[in-house]
Amino acid sequence: MNKKAILDSIKKIKELSKKRNFNQSIDLIINLKQLDPKNSEQKVDLFFQLPKDKQKKPKICALVDKELETKAKIFDKVILKDDFQKYAKDKKLTKKLATEYDYFLAQANLMGEIATAFGKVFGPKGKMPNPKAGCIVPPVIPALEPIKKKIESTVRFVMKDQLVMKASVGSEDMKEEDIAENIDFAYNTILHALPKEKDNLKSIFLKLTMSPSVEVTDKGPVLHSKVKEVKEVEKVEKVKDKVEKPKKKAEVKEKVEDKK
């Protein structure tokens, strides 16, 4: 990918974005082609570490027993085995947990209990502890700090039911050169993981949390007012900038599901 085109596109989305009262994430959106989302063999699901710290740390919840209780206190939340049943009996509470945390770390010998208590909610949301991200650890381990550091620098690009993948690769207050390095690294990692490499790439976009999307091309950034590939519903999480409509829609949907 053309490094100058990346830098120009970063500058462009910053120009187009209004000043917000929070540090916006920079998302990389990859649109794919010649792949079948319904074919499990063609599914793309990648975890990898970025070369530059993206600054905005993910929230991590640890699902452990007493062996790791003290060591796990470095994470944002710790849920012990004794409390698993509380979540198993309360689907609404489990949904709230899945929404609030980005990664779940699990004690390996508890995976059966974790699947039973959390699987029905975590599974469809892609939040089950994943060994590819280093989120499953043994009950006896010297320290969890290296695991935490690895998870904080890890990004996940996954193709679900559409030919599109998206993840945060930085924050708007990072040096533009560092953001560009993360984008270039992510692009090349994804490219080499695709069956037909460039033949599976349709288009590449960048956007801030609350900015328009800009297509990255070798000729420079291109602003599209209506682009089918990026007309997905943008879930703006943990942002208190008076964005109430998405929140209300989610609450209504949750109530309907609970009634079912």
Instruction: Give 91-141 pLDDT, tens digit per residue.
Output: 999 999 999 999 999 999 999 999 999 999 999 999 999 999 999 999 999
End-to-end Cα, the chain, rounded Å:
47
Tokens of 185: 């690294």
Tens digits of residue pLDDT in 17-70: 888 888 899 999 999 999 998 888 888 999 999 999 887 889 999 999 999 999
CA distance 27 to 171: 9
Q: Is the pLDDT of residue 155 over 60?
A: yes
**Better-scored residue on pLDDT, 49 or 240:** 49
CB-neighbour burial class of residue 14 (10 A; exposed 0-12, middle 13-18, buried 19+)? middle
Q: What is the pLDDT of residue 144?
A: 97
CA distance 78 to 60: 9
Q: What is the mean pLDDT of residues 160-168?
A: 92
**DSSP code at position 56:** S
What's the whole-model pTM score?
A: 0.77
For the chain, what's the residue count? 260
Q: What is the pLDDT of residue 255?
A: 53
**Better-scored residue on pLDDT, 29 or 161:** 29
Task: Render the burial of 214-228: b for 16+ CB within 10 Å, e for the rest.
Answer: bbbeeeebeeeeebe
The domains of the chain, with CATH numbers, are: 3-54+153-233 (3.30.190.20), 60-148 (3.40.50.790)
